[in-house]
């Protein structure tokens, strides 16, 4: 299963790729189905109902899942949403209990009764499940579809999820080899192909991408970086209280001002480079928590790590270049694709080790590549970063992507740089292969108690200060 750099890095909105972007995309797909049905057999008095299950139900309010479904049904998409128009549309639906849509007309949808949070067991396919159903004016079912938001903004129907699982078992190497010049599905294959071909990981990933993005790849990569950097800049200038009721203050602007004021002073401690890494990551995740535009890296909850480390490379590392930054993102996406393909990047499925842990491994590998690391050193850097996030739970306070998520991205960025530096000090030989570490993450996630996987029923989420 090939995952493009633009599958891993997608422009969307906060606060969650799985809980906000995914449900919005699922609603849009459902509308496409209804338009096809309506075109063949017109439906009078169409009504839509949505039911959220598992983590989408337990932390849906804090992640704005209900709003995401509503806006998706109104025709908005994560990449192009206009916040002002979205707010107007949302208010109208709450007031009128219906949505007027091109090709479908007036569709009944009253959020108070037609959007249901089911706090029972999750659906069988994945922890993030939702069912959308349509009825005619007499209440006769017209169409029903089950969707799974599997992390990073990826959405699969029940049938697509089944086929994907079957494909992973039955197609294997033959399918990958037919489509791309370097069809690695594991880190071991990646290293073996690189050695045989005399190619770096960045060169192999670029060759694979050019099969489907011929001629415009660098422009598209630069566009993704610009979106990341714009998000950092917005986060460094905005201030105030984040929405959701926890009264968490934005801190990135204040910390950034302090760091700028300290520049050039001979009293600055050498470890303040960690503060630069932290402030870049926090800027992104404060924007995400506020519902701003971010880039999944590989998820929204972990969106600050990769941009922070890439900004660190560009602004603080000797010899940084535009080409190095492109290699950074190509290699980071290759590692992210391997983790998603062989394990998970969903906090609801394996905990935060799958989100910030994966992001830190991606950033470590990307930085190592940009600084001239060998393929073996790059794989080592990814393994070090992932290994030291193993077991990390996903227990957001209030179901909001704020505590501990914002600071967790900062520490993930610091670990990524440390992992890359350690790997560059060695020759790439190490005890635990990345593939084994990815397998451990998956097994740990499966063994992890459900209450520590984005349900807000354990850990930090239930140990809040008395007010």
What pLDDT, in 10s, does the model give residues 5-44?
A: 999 999 999 999 999 999 999 999 999 999 999 999 998 9
Is 18 buried (19+), middle (13-18) or exposed (0-12) by CB count in 10 A? Answer: buried
What pLDDT, on the 0 to 100 scale, is given for residue 174?
Answer: 39
Please state, in angstroms and rounded to a whole number, the distance separating the CA atoms of residues 332 and 45: 48
What is the mean predicted confidence (pLDDT) over 141-150? 97
What mean pLDDT value characterizes the chain? 95
Q: pLDDT exceeding 70 applies to what percent of the chain? A: 97
What pLDDT, on the 0 to 100 scale, is given for residue 167?
Answer: 64
What is the mean predicted confidence (pLDDT) over 450-467? 89
Please state, in angstroms and rounded to a whole number, the distance separating the CA atoms of residues 398 and 85: 27
What would the pLDDT profile of 60-97 be if each residue is shown by its tens digit? 999 999 999 999 999 999 999 998 999 999 999 999 99
Domain ranges of the chain: 14-163, 182-462
What pLDDT, on the 0 to 100 scale, is given for residue 176?
Answer: 47
Query: Structurally, what CATH architecture does the domain formed by 14-163 represent?
Result: 2-Layer Sandwich (3.30)
Q: Is the pLDDT of residue 124 over 90?
A: yes
Is 86 buried (19+), middle (13-18) or exposed (0-12) by CB count in 10 A? Answer: middle
Please state, in angstroms and rounded to a whole number, the distance separating the CA atoms of residues 280 and 313: 12
pTM confidence score: 0.93
Given a contact cutoff of 8 angstroms between Cβ atoms, the answer to whether 338 and 8 are in contact is no
């Amino acid at each position: 299963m090939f995952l493009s750099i633009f599958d891993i890095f997608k422009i969307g909105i906060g606060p969650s790729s799985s809980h906000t972007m995914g449900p919005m995309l699922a609603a849009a797909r459902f509308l496409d189905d209804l338009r096809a049905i309506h075109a063949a057999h017109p439906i009078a008095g169409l009504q839509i109902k949505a039911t959220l299950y598992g983590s989408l139900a337990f932390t849906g309010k804090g992640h704005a899942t209900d709003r995401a479904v509503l806006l998706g049904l109104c025709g908005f998409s994560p990449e192009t949403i206009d916040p002002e128009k979205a707010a107007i549309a949302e208010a109208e639906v709450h007031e009128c209990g219906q949505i007027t849509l091109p090709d479908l007309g007036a569709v009944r949808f009253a959020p108070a009764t037609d959007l249901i949070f089911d706090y029972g067991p999750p659906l069988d396919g994945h922890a993030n499940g939702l069912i959308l159903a349509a009825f005619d004016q007499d209440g006769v079912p017209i169409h029903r579809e089950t969707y799974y938001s599997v992390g990073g903004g990826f959405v699969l129907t029940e049938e697509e999820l089944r086929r994907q699982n079957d494909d992973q078992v039955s197609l294997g190497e033959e399918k990958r080899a037919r489509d791309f010049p370097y069809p690695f599905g594991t880190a071991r294959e990646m290293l073996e192909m690189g050695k045989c071909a005399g190619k770096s990981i960045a060169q192999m990933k670029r060759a694979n991408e050019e099969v489907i993005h011929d001629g415009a790849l660098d422009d598209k990569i630069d566009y993704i970086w610009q979106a990341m950097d714009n998000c950092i800049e917005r986060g460094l200038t905005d201030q105030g209280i984040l929405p959701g009721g926890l009264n968490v203050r934005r801190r990135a602007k204040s910390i950034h001002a302090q760091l700028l004021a300290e520049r050039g002073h001979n009293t600055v401690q050498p470890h303040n480079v960690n503060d630069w890494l932290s402030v870049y990551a926090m800027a992104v995740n404060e924007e995400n928590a506020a519902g701003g535009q971010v880039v999944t890296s590989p998820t929204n909850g972990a969106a600050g790590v990769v941009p922070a480390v890439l900004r660190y490379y560009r602004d603080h590392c000797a010899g940084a270049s535009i080409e190095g930054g492109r290699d950074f993102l190509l290699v980071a996406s290759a590692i992210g694709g391997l983790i998603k393909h062989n394990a998970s990047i969903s906090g609801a499925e394996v905990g935060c080790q799958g989100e910030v842990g994966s992001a830190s491994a991606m950033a470590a590998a990307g930085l190592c590549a940009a600084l001239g690391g060998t393929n073996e050193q790059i794989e080592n850097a990814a393994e070090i970063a992932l290994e030291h996030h193993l077991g990390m739970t996903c227990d957001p306070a209030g179901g909001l992507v704020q505590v501990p998520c914002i600071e967790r991205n900062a520490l993930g960025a610091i670990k990524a740089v440390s992992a890359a530096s350690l790997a560059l000090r060695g020759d790439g030989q190490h005890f635990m292969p990345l593939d084994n570490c990815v397998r451990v993450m998956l097994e740990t996630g499966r063994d992890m108690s459900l209450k520590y996987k984005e349900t807000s029923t354990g850990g930090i989420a239930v140990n809040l200060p008395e007010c």
